[in-house]
C-alpha cells in the first residue's frame, strides 16, 4: 500500500513541522527526562507486581497472621520503589542530563542532585504518632510523602537545576583543582569537582534557608503545590489527556515517535497518579484516579500506538491488497506485544492520510469509552503497573487486579476499532490503486 500524495505547499508545511518536532525531540532536557523515566520504569513495574501479588494472589491462598507475614514481602518492595520514587528520579535525571551534555564526570552530578534534593527537604515535619490524635513536630526525618510519588516533579526540577548549575560552575577553570597525572583518576575527578560541588550545594542550602526563615516553607512543598498539582489537574484530566495523547499520536503519523510529547508532558504526571493508585490499593483505601499511565495504554494503545491490533484484524478480514496482508502477517506477532513499527512504517501509516485519521482518533475514543465505563462503575480502576509489552486482554485483566469486566471493555474497543478502521482502510486501498495507475 503506497503513501498518500502530498502537494508542494502541504509538503513545505509538513517539512517545517517535522523539523520543529525533530528539534524538540532532541532537546537535551526533554531527552534526559525520557531517559531518566525509562531507567526507573522497571522499578515501578516491580512495584506493580508486588501490589498484585500482595493484594490479589496472596489473599487467594492465605489468611490471618500467615497472610500478614507474607505481605511483608510486598510492603518491603513498595517501600523500596513507590515510596522513594522521587529519590530515584532526581539522581537519574541528573545522570541522564550530564551524560547527554557529555559532562566528563556524570557520577558526580548524581551525587550533587541527590544531596541537593535532600537539602531542599523540610527541616521539621508534623506527624501523628500511632494511636495519638494530635500532631507532633519531629526533626531529622525524611517522609515518604516527600521522597515518594508526591515529590516526583520536585525531584525532576531539582535534578535538572542542580546538574545545570554544577556543570556550568565546573566549566570555570579557576574552580578546578588539578592534582597532576600521578593520582588515581577517581581521586583526580573528585578534587576537580570539589569547589563546584561546594558552590552548588551551598546555593541550594541558601535557598532552603531563605524559604524556611522568610516563607516558612520548603521547595518541595512549593513545587508540589504551585506547579505539580495544577499541571496534574489539567494534563491528567480527560480533555487534557485526550488532547496531549492524540497530539503525540499525530506526531507518530509524521514519523516522529509519540514519546516526544507523551513521554515528557503526560507520562510523568500520569505516573504520579499510578503510584498513588497502587499505594491506595495496597493499603485497602479508595482508588483516587481513573486516568493514569496504566489506564491510557491499556485502553488507548491496544496492539501499539494507534491501537493498530484492530487495523491488523481488519486487514486479515477485509483487505484485498496482497501487499497489505503480507505486512499484516509480518506485523501481527510483534503487534500482540504492542510493538507496531512494522505496520506504522511498512503499510505505511506514516504520511498516509486515510489511515492517519483513525490512528489518531481511535485511541482517544478507546480512552473515553473506558473512562465512561469506569465512571459508571462498570469496571475497576487500574491499580497494577504492568509492562507495556503485555498482550491485549491479559493487560486489561492484570491492570485492574483481575477484573474480567475490564477485559470485556477492551474487547469492545478492539471490535469497534476494526469497523472504525475499515472505511479508512478501503479509502487507502483506492488511493494506492489510483497512485499505481489502476483506475
Burial, 41: exposed, middle or buried (Cβ in 10 Å; 0-12, 13-18, 19+)? middle
The residues, any chain, with a CB within 8 Å of residue 140's CB and separated by 6 or more, are none
**From CA 262, how far away is CA 248, in angstroms rounded?**
6
Count of C-beta atoms within a 10 Å radius of residue 233: 11
Q: How far apart are CA 183 and CA 312, in angstroms?
A: 62
Q: Give a three-class secondary structure readout of the chain.
A: CCCCCCCHHHHHHHHHHHHHHHHHHCCHHHHHHHHHHHHHHHHHHHHHHHHHHHHHHHHHHCCHHHHHHHHHHHHHHHHCCHHHHHHHHHHHHHHHHHHHCCCCCHHHHHHHHHHHHHHCCCCEEEECCCCCCCCEEEECCCCHHHHCHHHHHHHHHHHHHHHHHHHHHHCCHHHCCCCCCCCCHHHHHHHHCHHHHHHHHHHHHHHHHHHHHHHCCCHHHHHHHHHHHHHHHHHCCHHHHHHHHHHHHHHHCCCCCCHHHHHHHHHHHHHHHHHHHHHHHHCCCCCCCCCCCCHHHHHHCCCCCCCCHHHHHHHHHHCCCHHHHHHHHHHHHHHCCCCCHHHHHHCCCCCCHHHHHHHHHHHHHHHHHHHHHHHCCCCCCCCCCCCCCCCCCHHHHHHCCCCHHHHHHHHHHHHHHHHHHHHHHHHHHHHHHHHCCCC
CA-CA distance, 111 to 370, in Å (whole number)?
A: 43
- Give the Å distances, CA to CA, from 90 to 46, 111, 265, 290, 292: 19, 10, 17, 27, 21
The pLDDT tens digits for 304-362 are 999 999 999 999 999 888 888 998 999 999 999 998 888 888 888 988 888 999 999 99
Grid cell of 439 as nine digits: 483506475
103 Cβ neighbours under 8 A, 6+ residues apart:
109, 167, 170
The pLDDT value recorded for residue 439 is 44
With contact defined as beta carbons under 8 Å apart, do 245 and 363 qualify?
Answer: yes
| The dihedral formed by the CA atoms of 170, 171, 174 and 179, expressed in degrees to the nearest 10 | 60
Cis peptide before 246 (omega within 30 of 0): no
Ranges of the chain whose pLDDT falls below 70: 1-22, 24-25, 178-191, 260, 435-439
pLDDT computed for residue 194 by the predictor: 86
The model's pTM: 0.80
Do 163 and 94 touch, CB atoms closer than 8 A? Answer: yes
Q: With contact defined as beta carbons under 8 Å apart, do 341 and 327 qualify?
A: no
Q: Rounded CA gap, 422 and 311, in Å? A: 8
- State how far the alpha carbon of 313 is from the alpha carbons of 125, 319, 351, 426, in Å: 56, 10, 21, 14
pLDDT digits over 149-163, tens only? 888 889 999 999 999
CA distance 136 to 197: 35
CA angle 373, 337, 314 (to 5 degrees): 70
Instruction: Report the residue count for the chain.
Output: 439
User: Cα–Cα distance between 259 and 349 in angstroms, integer?
Assistant: 17
Residue labelled with grid coordinates 482517544: 364
Closest C-alpha among 105, 106, 83, 104 to residue 36: 106
Q: Which cell is 281 given?
A: 490499593
The pLDDT of residue 183 is 60
**So what's the pLDDT on residue 139?**
83
Interior/surface letters 270-285, b for 16+ CB within 10 angstroms, e for the rest: bbbbbbbbbbbbbeee
Amino acid at each position: 500500500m503506497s503513501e498518500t500524495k502530498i502537494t508542494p505547499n502541504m509538503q513545505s508545511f509538513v517539512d517545517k513541522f517535522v523539523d520543529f518536532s525533530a528539534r524538540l525531540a532532541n532537546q537535551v532536557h526533554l531527552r534526559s527526562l525520557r531517559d531518566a523515566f525509562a531507567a526507573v520504569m522497571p522499578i515501578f513495574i516491580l512495584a506493580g507486581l508486588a501490589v498484585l501479588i500482595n493484594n490479589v494472589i496472596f489473599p487467594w491462598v492465605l489468611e490471618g497472621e500467615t497472610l500478614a507475614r507474607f505481605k511483608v514481602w510486598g510492603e518491603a518492595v513498595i517501600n523500596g520503589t513507590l515510596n522513594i520514587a522521587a529519590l530515584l528520579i532526581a539522581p537519574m535525571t541528573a545522570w541522564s542530563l550530564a551524560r547527554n551534555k557529555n559532562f566528563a564526570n556524570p557520577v558526580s552530578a548524581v551525587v550533587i542532585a541527590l544531596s541537593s534534593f535532600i537539602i531542599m527537604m523540610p527541616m521539621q515535619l508534623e506527624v501523628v504518632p500511632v494511636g495519638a490524635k494530635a500532631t507532633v513536630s519531629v526533626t531529622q526525618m525524611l517522609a515518604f510523602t516527600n521522597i515518594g510519588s508526591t515529590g516526583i516533579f520536585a525531584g525532576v526540577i531539582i535534578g535538572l537545576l542542580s546538574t545545570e548549575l554544577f556543570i556550568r560552575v565546573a566549566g570555570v577553570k579557576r574552580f578546578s583543582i588539578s592534582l597532576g597525572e600521578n593520582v588515581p583518576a577517581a581521586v583526580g575527578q573528585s578534587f576537580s569537582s570539589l569547589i563546584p560541588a561546594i558552590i552548588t550545594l551551598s546555593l541550594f542550602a541558601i535557598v532552603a534557608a531563605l524559604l524556611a526563615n522568610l516563607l516558612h516553607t520548603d521547595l518541595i512543598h512549593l513545587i508540589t503545590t504551585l506547579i505539580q498539582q495544577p499541571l496534574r489537574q489539567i494534563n491528567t484530566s480527560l480533555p487534557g489527556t485526550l488532547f496531549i495523547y492524540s497530539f503525540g499520536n499525530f506526531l507518530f503519523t509524521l514519523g516522529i515517535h509519540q514519546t516526544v510529547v507523551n513521554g515528557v508532558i503526560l507520562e510523568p504526571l500520569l505516573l504520579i497518579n499510578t503510584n498513588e493508585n497502587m499505594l491506595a490499593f495496597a493499603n485497602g483505601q479508595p482508588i483516587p484516579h481513573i486516568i493514569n499511565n496504566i489506564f491510557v495504554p491499556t485502553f488507548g494503545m491496544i496492539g501499539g500506538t494507534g491501537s493498530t491490533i484492530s487495523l491488523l484484524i481488519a486487514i486479515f478480514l477485509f483487505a484485498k491488497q496482497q501487499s497489505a496482508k503480507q505486512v499484516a502477517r509480518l506485523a501481527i506477532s510483534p503487534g500482540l506485544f504492542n510493538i507496531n513499527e512494522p505496520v506504522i512504517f511498512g503499510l505505511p501509516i506514516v504520511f498516509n492520510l486515510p489511515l492517519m485519521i483513525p490512528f489518531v482518533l481511535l485511541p482517544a475514543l478507546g480512552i473515553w469509552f473506558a473512562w465512561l465505563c469506569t465512571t459508571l462503575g462498570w469496571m475497576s480502576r487500574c491499580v497494577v503497573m504492568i509492562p507495556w509489552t503485555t498482550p491485549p486482554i491479559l493487560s486489561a485483566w492484570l491492570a485492574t487486579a483481575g477484573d474480567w469486566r475490564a477485559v470485556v471493555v477492551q474487547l469492545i474497543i478492539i471490535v469497534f476499532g476494526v469497523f472504525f478502521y475499515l472505511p479508512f482502510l478501503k479509502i487507502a486501498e483506492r488511493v494506492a490503486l489510483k497512485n499505481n495507475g489502476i483506475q
